[in-house]
Amino acid sequence: GENVEQHPSTLSVQEGDSAVIKCTYSDSASNYFPWYKQELGKRPQLIIDIRSNVGEKKDQRIAVTLNKTAKHFSLHITETQPEDSAVYFCAARISGGGADGLTFGKGTHLIIQP
């Protein structure tokens, strides 16, 4: 089955700086890669997702890049703000798989220092 590794587990950056969270996956058949943000005590929320036929996707200060050859994908947050502090989860889903083909990483706790 799919295995998703996420790094780092904790990331502290100064407000205004950029943050990068990286995930690797094991199954080359994976074709869908979402990122979820979970603020303390709140629900996970989808912030961006990408499919394997696209190498990069941007939405304002957030971008995701995908390297299919190396089987890794990354979340980039620019001009970080205090409200970006949260736990971020990546996931990968195997092509043709249902929901059980969606494997999550363990999460990255992003801390924005004022």
Applying CB under 8 A, which residues contact other proteins?
4, 32, 34, 36, 42-46, 49, 89, 91, 93, 97-107
Q: Based on CB atoms, which residue is closest to other proteins, 51 or 61?
A: 51
Question: CB of 19: closest distance to other proteins in angstroms?
Answer: 20
Q: Collapsing DSSP states into helix, strand and coil, what is residue 97? A: coil
Question: CB of 18: closest distance to other proteins in angstroms?
Answer: 25
Size of the chain, expressed as the number of residues it contains: 114
For the chain, how long is the longest CA-to-CA vector?
A: 44
Residue with token string 């590794």: 5
Question: CB of 52: closest distance to other proteins in angstroms?
Answer: 13
Q: Based on CB atoms, which residue is closest to other proteins, 19 or 91?
A: 91
Question: CB of 104: closest distance to other proteins in angstroms?
Answer: 4
Q: Based on CB atoms, which residue is closest to other proteins, 85 or 101?
A: 101
Strand stretches in 1-114, DSSP E: 4-7, 10-14, 19-25, 30-38, 44-51, 56-59, 62-67, 72-77, 86-94, 102-104, 108-113
